[in-house]
Amino acid sequence: MDSTNISAFIIDDEPEAIQLLEMFLRFFPNVNVMGKETQAKKGLDFVNQNLPDLVFLDIDMPDMNGLQVANHIHTENFYSEIVFTTAHPKYGYDAIDFQPLDFLIKPFTVEDVETVILKYQEVAEKKKYLRKVDLFIHSQSNSPKIKLPTINGILIVEIKDIVLLKAKEHNSYLYLKDGTIETITRNLNILAETINSQTFFKISRSAYINLKYLKKLDKKNLKCMVNFNQSVLEEDITKSNLLHFEKLDLFPPMQGH
C-alpha cells in the first residue's frame, strides 16, 4: 500500500462504533486519525477547520444527521472525502448526491475499511494527475480559449492569461495579465465552473486566483500576493482555503513544517 499519509476524522454518536473503527484503522500505518467526535455539529466544525482527507460519518445522529453534515462539508470544503458509516442501507438513495467515497453498512469489516483506503488513494492519485495535466495544458503557448459574456457582447481570452476572478454582486471581475479588468455577467461560482481549470484556486467566497501568478502567501495576515501587470495585488485568503492550499502539495516545500 502507498505510504502517503492519510488523515482521518470520525463522527459517530456511539463511542463503541468509534472505538471499533479506530481499531480497524490501526491496521493501516499510513492512516492518521486526527480526531473523533460524538456530536455532529462539533465534528463538522473540526472538519471544516482542519480538512482531514477522510471523514467517516454516521448518519443516524441525534443533534444533526449525517446527511446534513455532509451537505455542509460539501458546500464549505471540497477537499475532504466522505465515507458514510450506517446500519441503514435505506439512506443510500439520499446519500448518493453527495458523491461519497464509500458507504459502509454496519457491521463492516477491516476488509471494507481497506477498500475505502484503496479507493481514497486512487481518487487522490487521479486528482493529482488531473492537476498536473491541467497545469501542463495551460502552460502551452496555444492554451485553450474561453468565451465569456460581458454587458455589451462577449470576451474571448486564453485561460492562462486570467490572473484573478472576483465576485461583484451577481457579476464577476476578471483581471487579465495585461492589466485590464473586465466585467463578466455571470456569478463567480458559475464563472469558475465554466473556466473549469485546476489552476484556479478558491481563496475566499468572493475570489479565485490563478496559481500561475501567485507570488507570496502571508500566513499571519492571511493575504496572498499575485502578480498583475508588473505590480502586485494583495487579496484576502481564508484560513481554511490556506490550509487547503497547503494540502494541495503543489510546490515542494523547501523547509520542514
Partner 1 sequence: MEHKICVLIIDSEPKSVIHIQEILNENSLIDRVDVATDSEMALLKVIDSVPDIVLMEFPFRDKTINELYKFIKTKLTETTVVFISESKDNAAQAIQHGVYHYLLKPIPNDKLDKIIGQILLLKQNSVQLKIKQVIEKSTEEKRLMFYTSKGYILIDPEEIIFCMADGIFSEMYLTQNRKEIIYLFLSRIEEILGSVDFIRSNRKFLINRKYIRKVFKNDNSILLFHEGKEYIVKGSKQHIRNLTKLNLD
* Cis peptide leading into residue 52 (ω within 30°): no
Based on the shown chain and the rule CB under 8 A, indicate whether residue 118 belongs to the binding site for partner 1. no
| Shortest distance in whole angstroms from residue 166 CB to partner 1 | 19
Q: Which residue's CB is nearer to partner 1, number 145 or number 215?
A: 145
Q: Contacting partner 1 (CB under 8 A), which of 64, 67, 105, 135? A: 105
Cβ closer to partner 1: 29 or 89? 89
Does 90 bind partner 1 (CB under 8 A)? Our answer is yes
Helix or strand or coil: residue 102? strand
Among 73, 54, 59, residue whose Cα is nearest residue 7 = 54
Contact, 195 vs 203, CB < 8 A? no
Determine, following the binding rule CB under 8 A, whether residue 124 of this chain makes contact with partner 1.
no
Query: Which DSSP category does 169 fall into?
Result: T
Question: Which cell numbers hold the place of 248?
Answer: 494541495
Please identify, among the stretches 31-39, 64-72, 92-100, 162-170, the one whose residues bind partner 1 according to the rule CB under 8 A. 92-100
Name the minimum Å distance from CB 167 to partner 1: 20
Compute the distance between CA of residue 85 and CA of residue 100 in angstroms, rounded to an integer: 11
Instruction: Work out the widest C-alpha separation in the chain, in whole angstroms.
Output: 62
Looking at the Cβ atoms of 72 and 119, the one nearer to partner 1 is 119
The verdict on 156 binding partner 1 (CB under 8 A) reads yes
Helix, strand, coil abundance in the chain, percent, nearest 5: 40, 30, 30
- Using CB under 8 A, list all residues that contact partner 1: 84, 89-93, 95-97, 99-100, 102-103, 105, 119, 130, 133-134, 137, 140-150, 152-157, 178, 196
